Amino acid sequence: MVAASRHGAGFAEVLLEEHPASRTVCAAGCADSRVRTTHADAAGGVQLVGANGEKRRLLSWAIRNGDGAALRLTETPCAGARGSRSHALRIVFPRELLPIAAIVETDPHAAAREGIGAGVRVVVADVAGDVHVVRAPHPAELEATPGRRAEPSLASVRAADVATVVDPPSLAPLEGIASVCAVGAKMVAFGGGGGRIALLDALSDNLRPVAELKPATLARLWNVVSLGGAARFAGARAIRAVAQVPSPRRRSSDPSPPRLLLAALRADCHVQLWDVTHPAKPVSLVATQLPTPSGGGGGGGYESGGGGGSSPGGFGSASQSAPDSPGSPFAGGAGERAAHCMSCGEGYLAVSTYGVDASASSSAFPRPRDGKISVYALDVKVGAEGSSSASLAFHSPVVGGDGVTVALAVSGESIWALQEASGRDGYGETRYGVAGERALKGWPFESLNRAHPCETLGDAAAELGAWAGRGASDAAAAGAAAAL
C-alpha cells in the first residue's frame, strides 16, 4: 500500500501482528457481507498523521479484491509513541468500492487558521457514483485531552460517523471517477475519465463544489489537432493520477501563505500543474505532454507562468513538444505509452508508463503488464504578490525500473517503487504481475542511472535509518509511509 502525504513520501515497515482483529462497522442501509471486486487488484495507501515528532501515527487504508465493498483502516503508532495503541477497522458499504481513496487531515493548527473543525476524513467512492466520508477525531486532539492520549482515532468511529453523498451533481461532468487525492486541509480532488477535475469541500456535509479544473482553451485545441479529434486509445484522457505538490520554500520575511499546488496526469501522458491556493480562481502553471530528452527547447523542458501575457496553460510556446515528436511517449504507433501512476516531491515528479498494447484491459483502472519509470525536474517559483510560475523538464530515466509499478513515492533525496515481482514462464520469457508477489526498489536521485540499491524491506529500513541519522528534518521529509 502506498500513498504520499502533503509533506513528502517514503516507506516504513509495519508489523501485522501489532494490529488487533478488525472491528466491523456497517454503513447505513447495509449488512455485513463480502463482495468480490471486479477490479484486477486490491488497492491501499497510507499517510502520516498527527502531531510532529514522535507522536505521529500511520493511518492506512486498503480495499481487498475478495472484500470489495469494505474499506479497511488501520492506525499504527510510530516508534516512540508511548502508550499509544493500534486499531483496525473494517467499514462495510452497500456496493463495491472503486480502488481509490483519499485521507484529508485537518490538524488543530490548520483548523484554527481556517476557522474549521479539526479531524481526519477518509473519502471513498463506489461503483454507483456515491461518495462516502468516514470521520474520525484528529490524534492531536486526543493527545491534548487527559485520559484519551493513548486512544486511537479510529476507536471512536461508529456508523453515525460514516456519511454518504448520493451521486454528487458536481461529479457528473467528470465522465466517471478515475482518481482522487487530498488537497490542503479541507479539500479533495476527483480526477475524471474525460480529463476534468472536481475540487470539493471535504468538510461540508454535501461535499460542496469548490472549483472545476479543465484544460485551458488552447490545450483543448491542441488535443483536437494532435489526436485527430479522438482519443488515441480507450481512456486516453482519463486523469490517471492527481497529487499535491509541495509548496516552494519561502523566505521567513515572505508574508504570503504557502501555495496549494495540484498536479494532474492523464493516461495519454499529458500533465498539468495548477495553483489552487485561491480555489475560486485556479491558475494553470504548466500544461504539456511529458517532456523528453529529444523534445524542443532546453532538453525537452517547458516553461509557463501564471501571470498575464502567457497563453492559458502555456500552450503555443515554441518549446512545446508535439505528441508525435521523436522520443515522445506517443511516438511510433505500436510503441504508444500510457501513464499509470505518479508521485510528486520537492523539485521532482516521477511517472510510470506502460505500453498501450500491454494493458490487461481497457478498464477504468487498467493493470499493465510492463512499465518504465522516468523522473522530471519540477521548478516552481513564487513571485511578487503570490504569483506563481513553473517549469517542467526531463531529468532522468530510472535504470532498473522496468516492470509493473504499482505505486511510486518521491521522498527526500530518493525515489521508491513498489512493483509486481517478475519471473520466468515455462518458455523462458520474463513475466510480470505475479499475483501476491511484490518487490520494493529504491534509488537515490544522484544514482537514477545505476541499478537500484534497495530491494528488500530490510534495505529500505536501513536507508530510512540513515535518513533519520542525518537529522530530524530529513526524517520529517520522509513524510508518508507504505506497508507491504
Q: Are 7 and 476 in contact (CB under 8 A)?
A: yes
What is the rounded distance in angstroms from the CA atom of residue 93 to the CA atom of residue 25?
Answer: 9
Q: Quick count: other Cβ atoms within 10 Å of Cβ 405?
A: 27
**171-209: string of b/e by CB count within 10 Å (b at 16+)?**
beebebbbbbbbbbbbbbbbbbbbbbbbbbbbbeeebee
Q: What confidence score (pLDDT) does residue 141 get?
A: 80
Q: Can you give the pLDDT of all 484 residues of the chain as single tens digits?
A: 333 333 333 444 444 445 668 899 999 888 888 888 766 555 777 777 765 554 677 888 888 888 899 999 988 877 555 555 788 899 999 999 999 999 998 888 778 777 788 889 999 999 999 999 999 988 888 777 777 767 888 988 999 999 999 999 999 999 999 999 999 989 999 999 999 999 999 999 999 999 999 875 544 554 555 444 445 677 889 999 999 998 887 666 666 678 899 999 999 999 999 999 999 899 899 898 998 765 433 333 333 333 333 333 333 233 334 333 333 443 434 467 899 899 998 889 999 998 887 554 557 788 787 889 999 999 988 776 566 788 899 999 998 888 888 888 887 778 888 887 655 444 444 444 444 566 778 888 887 877 655 655 556 555 544 433 333 333 222 332 332 2
Q: Given 3-state DSSP classes, what are the helix, strand and coil percentages for the chain, each rounded to the nearest 5?
A: 15, 35, 45
What is the rounded distance in angstroms from the CA atom of residue 32 to the CA atom of residue 15?
Answer: 27
User: Tell me: the pLDDT tens digits for 105-156?
Assistant: 888 877 877 778 888 999 999 999 999 999 998 888 877 777 776 788 898 8
Q: What confidence score (pLDDT) does residue 435 get?
A: 44
Q: Are 353 and 372 in contact (CB under 8 A)?
A: yes
Grid cell 521567513 — which residue?
Answer: 252
Helix (H) or strand (E) holding 106: strand 97-106
Show the beta-strand stretches assigned E in 166-222.
177-183, 187-192, 197-201, 209-213
Amino acid letter, 85: R
Q: What cell does 27 get?
A: 454503513
Q: What confidence score (pLDDT) does residue 429 get?
A: 47
Show the beta-strand stretches assigned E in 346-398.
348-355, 372-382, 388-397
Q: What confidence score (pLDDT) does residue 403 get?
A: 86
**Residue (of 265, 310, 317) closest to 289 by Cα position:** 265
Amino acid letter, 19: H
SS3 474: helix
User: Global pTM?
Assistant: 0.80
Residues, the chain: 484
**What are the φ and ψ backbone dihedral angles of 221, each rounded to 5 degrees?**
-65, -40
Q: CA 155, 161, 165, 170 torsion: positive or negative?
A: negative
DSSP structure class, residue 174: G
